[in-house]
Chain A
Amino acid sequence: MTRWLPASAGDRVRWAAVAVLAIVAVSIPPVANWYEDFTLGDFSSKFAIFLASSAVVLALWAMSYNLMLGYTGMVSFAHAAYFGIGAYVVALGSKHFHLPVLEALVLSPVIGAAFGLVSGIIALRAARLYFSLLTLAISQVLFAIAYQWYSFTGGDNGVHGLDIPDAISTYAPQYFFVLGVTVFCVLLMYGLVRSPWGAALLAIRENRERARSIGINVKRYEVSVYTIAAAFAAVAGGLFAIVQQYAQPEMLYWTENATPVVITLLGGLGTFLGPAVGALIYVVLQQYITTSSTFKLYFDITLGVIVLAIVLAAPGGLVSLPALFMRLRGRFRRGEPDQAVAESRGEAIRMLDVQKAVLAEAIHAAELETGAGLLKLEGVSKRFGGLRAVEDVSLEVRQGDRHAIIGPNGAGKSTLFNLITGRLKPSSGRIWFEGREITGKPVHSIARAGIGRAFQITSIFPRLTVRENLQYAMLAHRGLTARPFGIASRIFRDEAMTLLEAVGLGAYADLPAGQLSHGDQRAIELAISLALGSKLILLDEPTAGMSPFETQKAMELVRRIATERKLTLLFSEHDMEVVFGTARTVTVMHQGRILVQGTPEQVRRNPEVQKVYLGELDVEEFSA
């Protein structure tokens, strides 16, 4: 085995695919010329090279779409508009402003990004479906302007006949020019998706809520990826204008967005180079069908059937396609055990090495003075319509404290946590953290201020590896995800590994986190909240779904880490053994209000608390 070969089979396949693509891309013009000579002119090499140029342009456009769709899951109907704008910049720059084509091409991403930024800020005020509909409306406004502003855009005639410089006016040089610009853009995009900035995008795609709670400003990243995708789409549009020598308003019409999506789908969603392969298939298919005398009306149907087949054959949604492909491949290649389908056995917590975890570098020690007030709530209430989920709660959590919040189901514990972490806005009342008011602040800034959180229902990044889950949390919490360069998977790698080994997950570091068992996912959840290096950690029923033994181990870990690192804990828990074994202060909530607060001993003896819990028991027995 030589050392320069990539280690994993997946990487080898990927690099082989890149090499094949590169060879195909470079050899198209010479092969086409040779084939023309071979067939004595039955075959037009010029046309073949022209088609290849078109495919390259489509590939760049689709990859820019994939930057948004594949890496953040945003479905935009306005992406064709930026493609069209890029084409208009080059075409109008050449016709109206006598700008050399190359200078106009450099200008196109700038103008595309400007349009993208403004419409991105508008469209991203809404989420998911409403975001998509907003982009639809924006693209129709832009289309209407291009279509109707005769004096400037030429209206429905578009702009024709560009002044292409001699150097790139013939087919083969033009092809290599387009290919060169595209490769340059693709390398830029590749750098971006591997950077910490790209890591933040992946985290958002995987789990928006979790991404916020590790300190990622979701909206800002969405606007930035939308703008950057628009810039690359505009470059693709500019290249389109050079190859096709026109720009038309139809390019901006909303239905045009189907082209990059279908190309991405053909090549395989969630793969970086997939769109390049998809574009090749698309162009060849289109050329073959629309020039065939029998099938010329069948292009739409063919595309429709292919898209339907892909969407319906992957029952887990589009994202399962790569996994489906791996499974199929695994079936043909018995020799190579399929690592992707391996599952953990939920043993992580049993392997826990508390001593190691406590010493793990990944957990930053917060320098705190024990006893001072850290978190303060004053008269906090939350009403949902007529329901008073939390009512007039005043509470102080002191530094170094391990503060438990207990109470029957529906007492308002989770709502209270959501109010503290900013996921919900209080109806009234104020919240301070380290003397600064955080009432109503967004989730990500509260997380960055130093409040970490583990969710009651496991909330991790399921398709990222276990290690990436921790690495990205560390990146985000230390504010490094704004960096658009560097390789995210190499930063904090060792720190994440140490922590993983300590919590018993070392063996699963490279598996997708979603494939681990429930108990192990709880361990990841816990590890994420520890890795954040927060001063205050909120644990919402940290041991839900764990066995008694696992519970014991996990709480031992939490307790030790909290003590050694002077972390402050605020946790809710149903298991009274856990509560009285861990907490120094206990607050009992009932029907949204604070019933009692005191030391575990005081609370245990309190007759009112006993009544509340006995009352709940009665009800449970009654309904059973």
Chain B
Amino acid sequence: MDPGKFLLFTMGGLADAAYLFIVAAGLSLVFGALRVINMAHGSLYMVAAFVVVVVANQLGGGIGFLPALLLAVLVAALVGVVIEIVVLKRIYGQEHLVQLLATYAVSLVIAGGVRIVFGVNYRIVAAPISGHVSVLGYNYSLYSLLMIGAAVLIAAGVWLLMFRTPLGRNIRAAVSDPELLNASGVNVTRLYTIVFAIGAGLAGLGGVIVAPSQAVNGTMDTDVLVLAFAISVIGGLGSIIGSAVGAVIVGLVISFGLVNPVTNNFALAFVFIIMVVVLTIRPWGLFGTPEQT
């Protein structure tokens, strides 16, 4: 493979990794703090994608994208707050089956709602910036570079939030001992709502960023959710760095898997084979910590 092609597929993989990381980071953050696997995470991603498409197209062109982005992320976060207060608060600490079923039920309601509000047809939206740069004989769309840049910024932002702010300190404390944190005067109930809203907002941001690069449709919730599971499991559930590494692995495996004529049909299978291997050898993932029993 010549270097130009190699770079092309690497960048393609990284662009996929970009939005997948943002979604998986939200899933992982929520699991780390609340111990809940949120089956409705992909739904929040889908809702935001639809909102950004409709609003950006309404406002028109590249200028409309930014306000649409803000609105879409806000909507996702708000829906998240409602889910947390109405559903999750009642099922914290219960067996995984109950949490899986409840959040799955939420995802059904949202999927149905999206179909009723936005219709069953797929939608498209133009990227806020157009144009290409040419490197080693191949064109790269500026938007995919922007996606990668955004993911790096988000990664840095989440890291700063977790390790450099009082809120992050509380979240990390809630992961290890919520009762002690509660006793020391922190409103853990509200903290959980905030964490879930951040997670939902990240899902929404992922949906916004991916919207211009693919058709927005009614099954994108489950498609992204299963990949986000794979990423967070490979990287380690609850670990933000793990999500980043997992996303890059998954993005590159898909990208390079698809070019190779021998493997192109089974690129997605490889992602899940990696997931199986990681889970059997190191169930807590590459960067996770083993669960206390």
Contacts and interface: CB of A to CB of B under 8 A. Distances in A.
A41 interface: no
A140 B91 CA distance: 28
A311 B98 contact: yes
B97 interface: yes
Contact of B101 (A125, A140, A297, A307): A307
A307 B265 contact: no
B108 A307 contact: yes
Contacts of B111: 300
A588 interface: no
B194 interface: no
B95 A73 contact: yes
7 contacts: A122-B280, A140-B271, A145-B266, A297-B112, A300-B108, A300-B115, A304-B107
B273 A312 contact: no
Identify the interface centre among A133, A298, A317: most chain B CB within 10 Å of its CB.
A133
Contacts of A136: 226, 229
A299 interface: yes
Given A137-B272, A301-B109, A126 B265 contact: no
Interface stretch (A253-261, A535-543, A555-563): A253-261
B116 interface: yes
Nearest to A126: B283
A157 to B, nearest CB: 14
Contact of B91 (A126, A133, A311): A311
B94 interface: yes
B180 interface: no
Interface residues of B, number: 41
Nearest to B230: A137
State the main secondary structure of chain B at its contact with A: helix
Interface string B196-227: 00000000000000000000000000100010
A15 interface: no
B74 interface: no
A333 B269 CA distance: 55
A255 B222 contact: yes
Contacts of B104: 258, 307
A312 B226 contact: no
B92 to A, nearest CB: 12
Given A129-B37, A136-B226, A138-B272, 18 more contacts: A133-B279, A134-B275, A134-B276, A136-B229, A254-B222, A254-B226, A255-B222, A258-B108, A300-B108, A300-B109, A301-B113, A304-B107, A304-B109, A304-B112, A305-B109, A307-B105, A307-B108, A308-B105
Contacts of B101: 261, 265, 307, 311, 318
A297 B100 CA distance: 24
A144 B268 contact: yes
B16 to A, nearest CB: 17
B279 A134 contact: yes
Contacts of A318: 97-98, 101
A205 to B, nearest CB: 11
A128 B96 contact: yes
A423 to B, nearest CB: 10
A74 to B, nearest CB: 9
A162 B91 CA distance: 46
B190 interface: no
B162 interface: no
A255 B39 CA distance: 11
B87 A312 contact: yes
A464 B130 CA distance: 66
A69 B276 CA distance: 22
A301 B108 contact: yes
A6 interface: no
